[in-house]
Amino acid sequence: MTAQVTARTPVREVSPSQRVGPAARGRALREIAPVVAVLAIAVAATPLLLGSAGLMDTSITIATFAIMAISLGIAYGLGDMLSLAQATFGAVGAYATAIATTSWGVSPWLSLILAIALPAAISYGMARLIVRLSPLALALATLAFAELFELAVNEGGDLTGGYIGIGAIPALPLPNPAVSAHVLGWVLVALAMLVALRLRASNPGRALLAIGTDSVLAKSVGIQVNSHLAATFSLAGGIAGVAGWFYAHTRGYLAPNSLSLDISFMIAIAVIVGGRRTILGPVVGTILIVLLRDHVPGETSHGMFYGAGLVAALLLFPEGVTGESWAARWRRWRSRSSSDRLVRTLGARKEGKA
Amino acid sequence: MSIVAEKVSVEFGGLRALEDVSIAVRPGRVEALIGPNGAGKSTLLNVLSGFVKPTGGKVYVGDLDLTRAGSHQRALNGIARSFQTPRFVPHMSVEENVLIGFFPRVGGRLLPPVVGTRRHRHEEEAIRDRTRALLEEFELTEVADTPAADVPLWRLRMLEIARAMALDPQYILLDEPAAGFDEQERDLLSRQIARLTEAGVGVLLVEHNFGLIKSVSSHVTVLAQGKFLADGDPAEIDSHPEVVEVYLGKEEH
Amino acid sequence: MSSLLNFLAIGVALGALYGLIATSMGLIWQSTKVLDLAVGGYAAVAGMVTAAVGFPWGALAGLAAGVAASLVMGVIFLALQRRGVTDQISAAFASIGLLFASTSFVLWYFGTDPRYVEFITGTWLLGDISFSRQGVFNVAVAFVVVGAVLWGMHRTPAGEVLRATAISPRNAQLIGVPVRRVQLSMFALSGLLAGGAGVLMVFTRGMSFGLGLTLTIAAFGAMIVFGVRGLVTALLGGLVIGVVEAVGAGYFPASVASMVPLIFIFAVLVSGRFKLEGARP
């Protein structure tokens, strides 16, 4: 344990500039484009979805999981912490709001605060235990936690409803429930993307990238690696809690296996397939994975497609589908094959001389 | 107020990397640290920057005892450093790499940027302005938006110093910043170092190139095999018999 | 007291099988530093195939199925290496993908019903304790097999090649060892061990599609009980996990009992004793 030292002459704080310049405004607009695009597409698609309850349902499902995926994008894409417990933190939020609204009669809007605070607190506590670990050990620890939580909730008796779960969770008091749920869901997705975006463009976000690359570098610029990672993990937990809150109030019922390890895996696959380091990656990945899940014939063969899809993604798109632009990919493939040819020609020439 | 290492010893599993070495870095002056390879120069620099904890001795800034303080706390106390092999985030641009140097000055709290408070936006603007100024000072404006991985070595070294300057530090520890430089690049570096001292920053310069040392430093400490060998101003050291022997002795025989 | 000893006996009968799967995981870990989380899946596939084909040829079919599944992982591993994707998370994730795929395959092909095949029936009584003969057989097989693997690794020239490749694939390649083939054969051996455990399990307790993940978790817990040191510690770790689970199930409700290996895994991971390479750069 290193001694805490308070600076005698603390570093000079930055005096904020009086106004934000045009370059910054331009940059902000460019960065926000994907968020606006996603929201615009969702809103524009509303009339198309109105006809079919199934499609509306799918949209709400995608939105719910996309929020969780974005939270994993923060933890894993920025912080290099692969959490297989994001759905579990969602479950914490979901159960919190379910219990608060059904047993204590709290308004859903108010229980949202609990649905964010409780997972944020729990994930912070867990983070302090696991941020020091190597990436694989950290992932396994979150996996163990996810399984444990599900088992514990199963034994929760009257509080959590045991293996039956909690039913009759009140829907959100909104006009035109189906449509507003869809719109609210995508608004939440847009907000989550905004959080991720703002984080990436800020110094704490850059600090996370520094930590992920080189913790010696990070420490040399004054970053307290462990607390920074723990705070980030907590933020991701809170965002997952929002998704859980949304899930509880749009489904109306909640069981221990609703938001379990399986969902966490699905979200992790979505983030890996879509690209963990981009803003759109988690959202695109979620859309792909949910559509795949819903259109693959037969529920039993889902796992094979997930598994195959995951392996394919790891082999073909290590940075995810959105990770590298297709133009760059093409250029890379072309340069590799031409350099192969060059090497072979040089080799042949050498042989000839010898 | 100087940064002082007092009788510092470092032992790694039976190997004495440093034995009772003292050194002081004064504000506005350049302290050079030289010695043959394996003399313990980098180790001493690591002790000063908190990456190696000494097994004996103390490190002070003014009267603040930093000996046991973690490496991130050095930055919080105004001590910045560069690395022998430049360290940077390859997929971030040069500008963003310099921006992380401001970390202690704007803090790492997550909520202000996430919520988008006015204060945060204005702080971000301020550090971007300051970064642009630093980039210009260190001839990095051309490559501001280039990913750091694609940038030549001399620019990476300039990046490291620019990043160190972002802290607005009282002391900068430079670990062989001129390694692999040609004459033009060395001149650029010595001009930068001169600017640092003009701004009142205390510089520790670990270097092999004596020409560079002569042009910027006011005091030289020589280490050999982990022990103090000699110190004095550059001219004295240049002609110091023991120093010459330790550097050239092996070649003669 | 006697009931405790009975639980112990049950625990050891199952624990031997956990130990076999843990050894299978340990083999891959030691030779490629990959955490193969699909090992439970190999066992599940092997067990279900055994039940489907029926006694006696089912056992052979089951083993073959286990090896086939592990070879899939081997091929995936080599493909990842070739692509330059060498980090542990990607490999572990690929194995999770295979675990899903194998679980889903079993579900799709064999259905949800658990299967059981009778092999050795009856019990031996020693005072108040009853040992199932199948259980004793399991323990014997586990020790003999692990012993044979160790003997092969340490006393045969082929084993030396395997060990050398595990220590440094690059050096092995330089001296002409067909590294890829060696690594694939390690996966095959691992599949044989896990598959064997699956076959025995369908004789002991039965097998169902959902057991893949459960077995993987038990095997991982077993591997880390005594620190990731060797194959014997993995086997012994399996016995410990089996006993803890059986004793727990005897005195507590099932849910609580299955929490114990998980709490144990979490505690060991958090303590940092599970030394993994690839720590934060």
Would you kindly state where each structural domain of chain C is located, as residue ranges? 2-270
Q: Whole-angstrom Cα distance, residue A350 to residue C33?
A: 39
Q: Do chains C and B touch (3 or more CB pairs under 8 A)?
A: no
Residues of A in contact with B83 (CB under 8 A): 216-217, 220
Residue B250: predicted pLDDT: 44
Q: Which of B64, B65, B72 has the most A C-beta neighbours within 10 Å, making it the best mutation to test the interface with A?
A: B72
Residues of A in contact with C263 (CB under 8 A): 144, 148
Q: Whole-angstrom Cα distance, residue C235 to residue C26?
A: 10
Instruction: Domain of residue B159: give its range.
Output: 93-168
How many cross-chain Cβ pairs, A to B, lie less than 8 Å apart? 174
Q: Please tell me the distance in Å from B12's CA to the nearest CA on chain A.
A: 19
ipTM for this model: 0.86
| Residue A5 sits at the chain B interface (C-beta within 8 Å) | yes
Could you tell me if B212 and B156 lie in one domain? no
Rounded to an integer, the average pLDDT of A259-265 is 89
Residue A352: predicted pLDDT: 42
Residues of A in contact with C255 (CB under 8 A): 151, 154-155
Rounded to an integer, the average pLDDT of B19-27 is 90
Give domain status of residue B48, yes or no. yes
Asked if A207 lies within 8 A of B163 by C-beta distance, the reply is no
| Number of domains, chain B | 2
Vertex C76, ends C72 and C77: CA angle to 5°? Answer: 115
Whether the predicted pLDDT of A40 surpasses 90 = no
My answer on whether omega of the bond before C56 falls inside 30° of 0, hence cis, is: yes
**How would you classify residue B33: left for phi > 0, otherwise alpha for psi between -120 and 50, otherwise beta?**
beta
Q: Whole-angstrom Cα distance, residue C15 to residue C244?
A: 9
Could you tell me if B187 and B73 lie in one domain? yes
Q: Whole-angstrom Cα distance, residue A44 to residue A41?
A: 5
Question: Which of A137, A265, A301 lies closest to C104 in CB terms?
Answer: A301
Residues of A in contact with C96 (CB under 8 A): 265, 310
Residue carrying structure tokens 């055994």? C50
Could you tell me if B237 and B134 lie in one domain? no
Q: Residue C92: in which H helix or E strand, if any? A: helix C88-110
CA distances from B62 to A244, B5, B49, B170, B197 (A): 53, 11, 15, 11, 18
β-strand B171-175 against B79-81: which pairing, if any? parallel
Give domain status of residue B86, yes or no. no
Q: 3-state class of A284 per DSSP? A: helix
Closest CA to B20 of B56, B63, B66: B56
Residues of A in contact with B123 (CB under 8 A): 14, 16-17
Strand ranges (E), B71-217:
79-81, 171-175, 202-206
Q: Do chains A and B touch (3 or more CB pairs under 8 A)?
A: yes
Give domain status of residue B87, yes or no. no
Per-residue buried b or exposed e for A332-341, using 16+ beta carbons within 10 Å of the residue's own CB: eeeeeeeeee
Contacts with A, C 53-82, CB within 8 Å: 76, 79-80
Whether the predicted pLDDT of A38 surpasses 90 = no
Q: Whole-angstrom Cα distance, residue C165 to residue C125?
A: 47
Q: Whole-angstrom Cα distance, residue C245 to residue C207?
A: 17
Q: If pLDDT is split at 50, 70 and 90, which confidence band does A3 have?
A: very low
β-strand B30-34 against B219-224: which pairing, if any? parallel
Question: Which of C35, C253, C265 lies closest to A136 in CB terms?
Answer: C35
Q: Whole-angstrom Cα distance, residue B53 to residue B74?
A: 13
Average model confidence (pLDDT) across chain A: 83
Residues of A in contact with B58 (CB under 8 A): none
CB contact at 8 A, A278 and A270: no
Residue A156: predicted pLDDT: 82
Residue A108 CB coordination number (10 Å): 21
Question: Which of A139, A154, A305 lies closest to C89 in CB terms?
Answer: A139
CATH architecture of the domain with residue range C2-270: Orthogonal Bundle (1.10)
More confident residue, A6 or A31: A31
Residue C247: predicted pLDDT: 84
Q: How many whole angstroms from its chain centre is CA B103?
A: 17
Q: Which residues are CB-contacts of A266 (< 8 A; sequence separation ≥ 6)?
A: A65, A289, A293, A306
Percent of chain A predicted with pLDDT > 90: 42
Q: Whole-angstrom Cα distance, residue A19 to residue A6?
A: 32
A193-206 per-position pLDDT tens digit: 999 998 988 889 99
CA distances from B247 to B215, B219, B229, B239, C130 (A): 20, 18, 12, 12, 80
Residue B230: predicted pLDDT: 86
Q: Whole-angstrom Cα distance, residue C69 to residue C97?
A: 12
Closest CA to C16 of C153, C233, C197, C202: C197
Residue A111 CB coordination number (10 Å): 22
Q: If pLDDT is split at 50, 70 and 90, which confidence band does A4 have?
A: very low
Residue B206: predicted pLDDT: 92
Residue A119: predicted pLDDT: 97
Q: What is the CATH number of the domain that holds B237?
A: 3.40.50.300
Could you tell me if B68 and B98 lie in one domain? no
Residue A34: predicted pLDDT: 81
Asked if A315 lies within 8 A of C80 by C-beta distance, the reply is yes
Most confident of A241-245, A292-296, B177-181, C156-160: A241-245
Asked if B76 lies within 8 A of A222 by C-beta distance, the reply is yes
Q: Which chains touch B (3 or more CB pairs under 8 A)?
A: A
Tell me phi and psi for residue A256, to 5 degrees.
-55, -35
- Final residue before a domain boundary, out of B168, B187, B221: B168
Residue carrying structure tokens 């934060």? C280
Closest CA to A136 of C222, C92, C266, C212: C92
Residues of A in contact with B170 (CB under 8 A): 9
Could you tell me which chain A residue has the CA closest to the CA of B109? Answer: A204
Could you tell me if B164 and B213 lie in one domain? no
CB contact at 8 A, A67 and A85: no
| Residue C156 sits at the chain A interface (C-beta within 8 Å) | no
What's the pTM value of the predicted model, to 2 decimals? 0.87
Residue B252: predicted pLDDT: 39
Q: How many whole angstroms from its chain centre is CA B201?
A: 11
Token pair in block for residue A262: 């399986």
Give domain status of residue B219, yes or no. yes
Q: Please tell me the distance in Å from C49's CA to the nearest CA on chain A.
A: 17
The domain spans of chain A are 34-323, 325-354
**How would you classify residue B17: left for phi > 0, otherwise alpha for psi between -120 and 50, otherwise beta?**
alpha
Strand ranges (E), chain C:
123-126, 129-132
Q: Whole-angstrom Cα distance, residue B120 to residue B138?
A: 26
Q: Which residues are CB-contacts of C127 (< 8 A; sequence separation ≥ 6)?
A: C2
Could you tell me which chain C residue has the CA closest to the CA of A318? Answer: C85
Residue A150 identity (one-letter amino acid): E
Could you tell me if B63 and B126 lie in one domain? no
Q: 3-state class of A337 per DSSP? A: helix
Q: Whole-angstrom Cα distance, residue A121 to residue C30?
A: 38
For chain C, list residues with pLDDT below 50. 278-281
- Final residue before a domain boundary, out of B120, B153, B168: B168
Give domain status of residue B83, yes or no. no
Residue A337: predicted pLDDT: 56
Residue C199: predicted pLDDT: 93
- Final residue before a domain boundary, out of B153, B168, B183: B168
Could you tell me if B74 and B175 lie in one domain? yes
Question: Which of C97, C98, C262 lies closest to A148 in CB terms?
Answer: C262
B34-57 per-position pLDDT tens digit: 888 878 888 999 999 999 999 889
Could you tell me if B174 and B249 lie in one domain? yes
Which residue(s) pair with A303 in the sheet?
none
A153-200 per-position pLDDT tens digit: 988 887 878 888 888 888 888 888 878 888 899 999 999 999 999 898
Q: Whole-angstrom Cα distance, residue B61 to residue B77?
A: 8
B1-13 per-position pLDDT tens digit: 888 888 888 888 8
Whether the predicted pLDDT of A16 surpasses 70 = no
A301-339 per-position pLDDT tens digit: 777 877 888 888 888 877 777 765 555 566 666 666 555
Whether the predicted pLDDT of A343 surpasses 80 = no
More confident residue, B128 or A1: B128
CB contact at 8 A, A283 and A274: yes
Question: Which of B73, B78, B125 lies closest to A9 in CB terms?
Answer: B78
Residue A14: predicted pLDDT: 67
Could you tell me if B65 and B183 lie in one domain? yes
Could you tell me if B107 and B226 lie in one domain? no
Asked if A11 lies within 8 A of B130 by C-beta distance, the reply is no
* Fold category of A34-323 in CATH: ABC transporter involved in vitamin B12 uptake, BtuC (1.10.3470)
Q: Whole-angstrom Cα distance, residue B139 to residue B30?
A: 22
Could you tell me if B73 and B101 lie in one domain? no
Give domain status of residue B164, yes or no. yes
Per-residue buried b or exposed e for B29-54, using 16+ beta carbons within 10 Å of the residue's own CB: bbbbbbbbeebbbbbbbbbbbbbbeb
Could you tell me if B58 and B181 lie in one domain? yes
Residue C278 CB coordination number (10 Å): 14
